[in-house]
Every structure is written in structure tokens, then in C-alpha cells.
Amino acid sequence: MVADGYHSLVDGSNNVIGLIVAAFAFRPPDPDHPYGHRKFETAATGLIGIALLALAWDVLTGALSRTGSRPFPRSGPSTGRSWR
């Protein structure tokens, strides 16, 4: 559940980053940038990749840290009592 929440958060923020960068990346060439502004798109892709790697690292380290811990308690009717 936590991993899915993190994924939704990172996915939504990456979409916002993509929309902002698209506004800069598709500008026409100017004297300072004769080949255009497409490198903004490449830089944003790197930023999104780093965000996804950080998410994967957090989920993986969290999962590995819980492998040696006690199992979750059992759920169900309490022991020793009859509900009839």
C-alpha cells in the first residue's frame, strides 16, 4: 500500500514536471539557443529517472528491513472464548 501511494505521488509530480518542461522545451530557436530548447526535455527526463530510482530504493530498503522482523499478529476471533 505504501509503495502504491509513493508511486502515485511520484507519478503525479513527474506529470507536473513534464508539463512545465514542455512549455520550455518547445520554444522556437533564439540567438542564445540556435538549436532550440529540446535539452530541457532531456534534463527533465533525467530528473524523473532520479525520482523513480529514489522511490525504488526506498521501497526496496523498506522491504528488506522488514524481512527479519516478527510476522504480523493473527487476526480472527479471540482465543478461549466461545461466541455461541
pLDDT of 10-67, one tens digit each? Answer: 889 888 988 998 888 888 888 888 887 788 888 888 988 998 898 889 889 988 887 8
What are the domain boundaries of the chain? 2-65
Whole-structure pTM value: 0.64
Q: What is the CA radius of gyration of the chain?
A: 23
User: Can you tell me the distance from the alpha carbon of 62 to that of 5, in angstroms, rounded to the nearest whole number?
Assistant: 14
Q: Is the pLDDT score of 77 beyond 90?
A: no
DSSP string of 25-44, one letter each residue: HTSPPBTTBTT-STHHHHHH
